[in-house]
Amino acid sequence: MTQATDLDLKAKHRAMWALGDYPSVADEVIPALGTRLVEAVDVRAGDHVLDIAAGSGNSAIPAALAGATVVASDLTPELLEAGRRAAEARGALLSWEPADAEALPYADGEFDVATSCVGIMFAPHHQAAADELVRVVRPGGRIGLANWTPEGFIGQLFAVMKPYAPPPPPGAQPPPLWGSEDHVRALLGTGVTDVVARRELLDVGRFPGEPDFREYFKTRYGPTIAVYRSLADQPGRAAELDAALDDLAKRHDLGSGRMAWEYLLVTATRTA
């Protein structure tokens, strides 16, 4: 991939995540996920923490409230601005810095802890992002990741949308692969020890029925919005996708408007 092509891909990613209202998804649908990650990686007062692909601060804000010195980095400035406002409202002090997960502007071993809550998984080149994740953590420091699994609800959302979406650029890897334990272990390689990976379920009770989920994601979740925009002149295909999303939600309905979204929680220690 040429540098120009890569820059174009990153620009498209920034634009996609600025679509809709991802901060509301983080606040209304998955707020517990960031707190769970912060607890799992044992963020403590005095830790210097980097949250990669932080979005609007789903895990960065809880880390700051735990007493850590936190840098929240993300490719999309609009998400950082939303996070800054949310942090101020909650009395959390942290830094918000634009950064590409595949080329982080930080020194080797600069942080005690690096985290990412369903964020780094969307960097298109997985090994480059994983190498940067490991590089910026000091020897003996901690890494924590929460990523949607391929088999879980969000992994299946991407599988459902794939036939309707434009083909990905050459070299780009599917985000839900980061929810596969074998894939993550291979990415982190010998740079880490004490890897613990476990599948957990996030209880989601935001959507009373299938159309509620579909319309919410069509208006607020950047990847879904982007797919529907690509179908703007294909109303028949858009209607097919509507039905496919409704079927997905129905298959995951636990009753009373509740679903369980599976994610992979990974903690590891940087090799000394």
In this prediction, residue 259 carries a pLDDT of 97
pTM of the model: 0.96
| Choice among 4-8, 191-195, 228-232 with the minimum mean pLDDT | 4-8
* CA angle, 42 then 44 then 45, to 5°: 175
All structural domains of the chain with their residue ranges: 3-155+169-202+262-270
Q: Calculate mean pLDDT across residues 231-248.
A: 98
In this prediction, residue 170 carries a pLDDT of 85
Q: Are 88 and 65 in contact (CB under 8 A)?
A: no
* CATH label, 3-155+169-202+262-270, candidates 2.30.140.10, 1.10.540.10, 3.40.50.150, 1.10.10.10: 3.40.50.150
